[in-house]
Structure 1
Amino acid sequence: MIGFRLSAQLPPEPRRVNDTVVQRFDHVYEVDPALMREHVQQHDFPAWDTRRIVDSRWEHLAWMHAHWADSVVSGEELMSSGE
């Protein structure tokens, strides 16, 4: 059985970004868990799992583009088109 001690994998304390967003890891923004608790039950989430998800998001996005997108438009292109 593979396991871990959650106490050894607690994420860093959140840094407030604004009234509704916190940041625990660089480039990872979260809705403030205190606000989320009003709507959704929160679960403890180990730091290694957050890092795993963040590390794989570009691979997942590339897969989605390859399988579902006819074209990929950058945010910069969207902003300059005025749409």
Structure 2
Amino acid sequence: MSAYRHSEQSRPPEARQITEVAIERFDDVFEVDPKLMSVHVVQQVFPNWDTLRIVASRHDHLDWMHSHWAAKVISAQALLDEIDD
């Protein structure tokens, strides 16, 4: 475990432009480019460790949502395959 250093955690890594609307700051963590949202959505600053915590727990959250609310879970690939047919 590393020590918390505000200066290291308050600035996210430099963003890489992935598409016209998506950026990537952490490996495999895609975000809507904040400059596209800043007019309508006030951008919040939160520490890097919190972003990584949220990303790490997203599958647990989806599993919980599926088990509580979904009668059937369909993969995105299955939907794309259906569109292609």
| TM-score, normalised via structure 2 length | 0.82
CA RMSD of aligned residues (A): 1.7
> Which secondary structure does the structure 2 equivalent of 1:34 belong to?
helix
Q: Kindly tell me: are residues 22 and 8 of structure 1, through their superposed partners in 2, closer, same or farther at Cα, counting changes over 3 Å?
A: same
Match of 1:26 in 2: 27
Alpha-carbon shift at residue 81 of structure 1 (Å): 2.1
> Which secondary structure does the structure 1 equivalent of 2:30 belong to?
strand
Q: Kindly tell me: are residues 82 and 35 of structure 1, through their superposed partners in 2, closer, same or farther at Cα, counting changes over 3 Å?
A: closer
Q: Does 1:35 align with 2:36?
A: yes
Match of 2:72 in 1: 71
| TM-score, normalised via structure 1 length | 0.83
Q: Which one is further off, 27-36 or 62-71?
A: 27-36
Q: Kindly tell me: are residues 62 and 16 of structure 1, through their superposed partners in 2, closer, same or farther at Cα, counting changes over 3 Å?
A: same
| Percent of pairs with identical residues | 51
Query: Which stretches in structure 1 are left out of the alignment for 5+ residues?
Result: none
